[in-house]
Structure 1
């Protein structure tokens, strides 16, 4: 197989571990902290997880080891969307298992949780692992979005584990995947299956975080990748001086990616979904906000700029969210068939008009036709609008163009507005992990083995103090139930990990808020450039702006 010079060099990179993990597994002891409770709905969560709730947080320190000496057979699953560094979590698992006992075995279940249910697996060896060290993607075993949530699935999982002699399973995933890990751990504990379950925090969206989980893996690399691209576009905009670039970035429920990219690149405008929701900002409010920046810059002779838009922002706009809800209701059941059978868009629009409230129709009517049609594209499995398919970058540029036309007719705007559109999503999910993510993920995997060897289950592998050099990082674990609350999902109350949204009182947003008016009018672009893997630590081992501000 032909590989690139960078790929070959990355295979040979040796990830840095926290100081207390470097002395050898047999010299690492457990320091137990206080008992924990869930972030909300304590009694309900405790009732659902009687065997795994309320356990102590733990930290690993140097000392006499209490790890189990017997042979370990561990299974690992990659779950959900890809994130840079997943391969290194598995590499860390493998190396720690072999360091503890060369007879230990790591089994990878293919294509996500379904691989465990279908008993589709590979047994890792040195050659297999070495071909994926420090590389992006999840192609080492593939991923999937199957949920482990039924009694039947749990029974099959227990049978497969027993067949292979597996005593622990590591699930690498986001909030939903780690919720599944907690439920599976509870089932195994309740039924004395003898199988531990450990989670690892993954998501480029950055919404799996709290006081314990400072950052989810992949966020660093993905946002650095997007920031490079945005910086390149800013440089182009400042060179050509004739285009406004509207850039949508990943982030359905939370705007961490958009905010971090804005902190890295200082665009003229960046929308934050959480602020839109908090202030109940309308489409008109947001349109005027962007148009004001365009007009101010035009008055300075700058008919160019950059706007960053989080993927899910339209769901946070009150009247747009209400419109989506009405469309979901309008096309429920047999009505969807009647709508789809109409031969022309004109007839479909009439059907829509008759089915929407006056308020919803007024919102629908001002949307560009291509956006109107996107609201009726393929539905999700629950029959709802797929918000991620809405090209919000084109929606806002069209609304801004209309607003600027009105201002020009009124004589208040005399500039030129030429919009271009981009969506950065998949470009960041499988990038070569930054040194930070390579180190962090390897440490998460290595640390997960220590949790297993010390008998913990229902825990998340935890590495903290991440704004400091890796030698000062702190390894440990926390019960997954600590992050859980009860939410209404598909008509039922479900225990889920609470998503972490952008905190409007947090230091990262406050820094952005304090500077955005200046960025909106002046050209303050920053050009972060490509991720650097070799060179001075201050260049190669940078943390995100978000993490740096939060830890100051």
Structure 2
């Protein structure tokens, strides 16, 4: 008994048998980072014939004159060189920004490996806020080796502070000068990498030689740049976790033969997570926000579609299934999008007036006359808790906290009512003619006697800080190597990128200013890196669209199972990436050569 208790104690502090094993797993390293003896070294960069340009490059040149003059929107490509490995004495800081994502620790490991023992890597505690406050510490070999292939952002911590005021930029400058930083690496999503672009420009204007490099992180998959950057890190891990859970629910639905599981999936803007999980699991229904916006579908249209699927499945004796709902769906429904845009404008202009009103009813009475009649009527028809959230609960950018709006519950309530209509007025729904469903009187009678049992779920945080998949572990390490090499090469204002996941990996540096566009926030224009959404012309969406009717008509679900670090699917890429990048297969990614990271390399 005492021996077993002792073994349990040894497992504390992230030392489970699994965690101990994954620390020892080799990862794939792009060949550009390996010398002739297979040892890790930094790479150099050269200009390519490719450029990344935003929709309004002249305006970006006005906002970022120093950095755009330095790179001219040109994409850089890494190549093997001995020169950067001779650079010593550099001091580089790294921070996490925004929500966590699996693989963050391997970014730090890659950075440390690129910098080598001749340079110093510093960690910034609690993200951009820590950068402002100067909360830096030296990252040791032992500390990062203990976290290799594990976790999300817990080593450094993170926050969502956006650096935008003169006072904040001044404090960043003080931190850079006080710590004698030669480089600053910002790991984050579109907002965080936009911040990196502004910081790079500011330091250039101040005459401070400090390379600022961004690293693309977001589980949503909405930070992607075509063939230059097929996906950001964390997406593969998150979608595999969600696919396992949704696969379990499809199995449960078929076993219990009575539940419809409504599953809301993280992804505030893009529906890329929902699309990937749908391809992995084959649910009865998967809503894609971008398609709903493109087809101008109303809330009633969506409800009618789901009710029709449920009804037609019932006619075949199937009274169960899984329905996937993207987190940001509510903003893509035309009338809801109009309402939210009007609210953003009103709340931006009258923020203080509304905040000072004592009750929700007072706020409603103030806001309603400022909305269009259609939006005011729609808002009044919503459940009061959702209406309250639209008014009161906003994020740091002035946007609705979409993840906290129970869109799945709103759909469930409307679907319940519509199903009761089907039972009360069968002549409106069954029979011959456009839009009607063919059914015998016996089938109709059976449907009228069948109840709709539902369960709702939100899968979000479960996928953000898991142990990274084999792909994300390798991807993030190579991104860290890329960022470290860019700093040693004296480059600034770039985002690290890795592409060509199926044939050894290709390492690039993308000019940040070339990725930025204009977005409306709090009713005002703001510069931000453009989000990558699901394209209805993409091979991944087309594959989904060609098969979803089969999945709706009968159970064809898959249960992909848990993430594998060794086994038949341990090298699997996201299906969306393999389809959209026209890879020959999705089962065996290749980012380079297998390499076991040693303490000497960190």
| Fold shared by both chains (TM-score > 0.5) | yes
1:143 aligns with 2:158: yes
Alignment of 1:394-433 (within 5 A): 394-411=409-426, 412=430, 414=447, 415-433=450-468
Say if 2:305 is the partner of 1:305. no
* 1:519 aligned residue: 551
- 1:85-96 mapped onto 2 (5 Å cutoff): 85-96=103-114
- In the alignment, structure 1 residue 449 sits paired with structure 2 residue 484: yes
Q: 1:251–1:369: structure 2 CA closer, same or farther, 3 Å change rule?
A: same
Contact 1:246 1:419 in 2 (8 A): yes
> 2-side partners of 1:255 and 1:197: how far apart?
30
**Displacement after TM superposition at 1:551 (Å):** 1.7
Matched, 1:230 2:242: no
Residue matched to 2:48: 33
Check whether the contact 1:276–1:317 (CA below 8 A) recurs between aligned residues.
Answer: yes
Q: Deviations over 1:318-348 (max 9, x none)?
A: 2222334555638854345446165xxxx99
Task: Tell me the residue number matched to 1:322.
Answer: 338
**Aligned twin of 1:277:** 293
Distance in 2, Cα, partners of 1:183 & 1:348? 36
- Secondary structure of 1:496's aligned partner: strand
Match of 1:105 in 2: 120
- Corresponding residue for residue 10 of structure 1: 22
Matched, 1:82 2:82: no
The 8 Å contact of residues 354 and 366 in structure 2, kept in 1 or not, is answered as: no
Cα RMSD for the two superposed structures:
2.4
Aligned partners of 1:27 and 1:310: how far apart in 2? 40
1:483-508, Cα deviation, whole Å (9 max, x unpaired): 11233433544332111111111111
Counterparts of 1:319 and 1:27, CA distance in 2 = 52
Cα distance, 1:178 vs. partner? 0.4
1:107 partner SS: strand
Match of 1:541 among 571, 586, 590: 571
Q: In the superposition, relative to structure 1, how do residues 318 and 465 fare at CA in structure 2: closer, same or farther (>3 Å)?
A: same
Alignment map for 1:96-495 (pairs within 5 Å): 96-98=114-116, 102-211=117-226, 212-325=228-341, 329=346, 332-335=351-354, 337-338=356-357, 340=359, 358-364=373-379, 366-368=381-383, 371-376=386-391, 378-380=393-395, 385-411=400-426, 412=430, 414=447, 415-466=450-501, 468=502, 472-495=504-527
Change (3 A) 1:10 1:251: same
350-359 vs 402-411, which deviates more?
350-359
Greater mean deviation of Cα atoms: 142-151 or 168-177: 142-151
1:377 Cα shift? 5.1
1:36 deviation in Å?
2.9
Q: 1:142 to 1:193 in 2, by over 3 A?
A: same
C-alpha distance after superposition, 1:74-118 (max 9, x if no partner) = 1001001001111110111112212xxx13111001000111111
CA shift in 2, pair 1:365/1:519, >3 Å = farther
| Residues 53, 73 of structure 2: 8 Å contact kept | no
Would the alpha carbon gap of residues 374 and 56 (structure 1) be closer, same or farther in structure 2, given more than 3 Å must change?
Answer: closer
Structure-2 separation of matches of 1:370 and 1:435: 42
Deviation larger for 181-190 or 413-422: 413-422
Contact (CA 8 Å) 2:274, 2:325: kept in 1 or not?
Answer: yes
1:35 Cα deviation (Å)?
A: 6.2
CA contact (8 A) 1:84 1:218 kept: yes
Instruction: Deviation per CA, 1:461-502: give whole Å up to 9, x if none.
Output: 111102x15xx1111212112211233433544332111111
| Deviation per residue, 1:133-188 (Å, 9 max, x gap) | 11122110100111122333223222222222210010000001001111111111
Q: Which runs of 5+ in 2 are unaligned?
A: 1-11, 431-443, 583-602
Distance, in Å, in 2 between the alignment partners of 1:396 and 1:388 is 15
Worse overlay, 74-83 or 131-140: 131-140
Q: Which secondary structure state, in structure 2, belongs to the residue aligned with residue 87 of structure 1?
A: helix
More displaced stretch, 486-495 vs 87-96: 486-495
Question: 3-state SS of the aligned residue for 1:16?
Answer: strand
Contact 1:76 / 1:172 at 8 angstroms: preserved in 2? yes
Closer/same/farther in 2, CA of residues 542 and 158 from structure 1, 3 Å limit: same
Superimposed CA distance per residue, residues 337-369 of structure 1 (whole angstroms, 9 cap, x where no aligned partner):
446165xxxx99888877765433543455445
- Distance in 1 of aligned mates of 2:189 and 2:397: 21
Distance 1:409 1:491 in 2: 45
Equivalents in 1 of 2:384, 2:169: separation in Å? Answer: 47
Partner of 2:436: none
Q: How many residues align?
A: 540
**CA distance 1:371–1:191, change in 2 (3 Å):** closer
8 Å CA contact retained: 2:95, 2:158: yes
Q: 1:231-264 CA distances to partner (integer Å, 9 max, x unpaired)?
A: 0000000111100010001111111111111111
Bigger shift: residues 227-236 or 449-458: 449-458
Change in CA separation of 1:359 and 1:494 when aligned onto 2, cut-off 3 Å: closer
1:38–1:45 CA contact under 8 A, matched in 2: no
Q: Deviation digits for residues 45-72 of structure 1, max 9, x if unmatched? A: 0111122111432222235535662322
Shift in CA distance, 55/284, structure 1 to aligned 2, threshold 3 Å:
closer
Q: What SS does structure 2 have at the residue aligned with 1:52?
A: helix
Structure 2: distance between partners of 1:405 and 1:46: 58
> How far does the alpha carbon of each residue in 1:12-64 deviate from its partner, in whole angstroms, 9 at most, with x for none?
22321112212246684434203635221110001111221114322222355
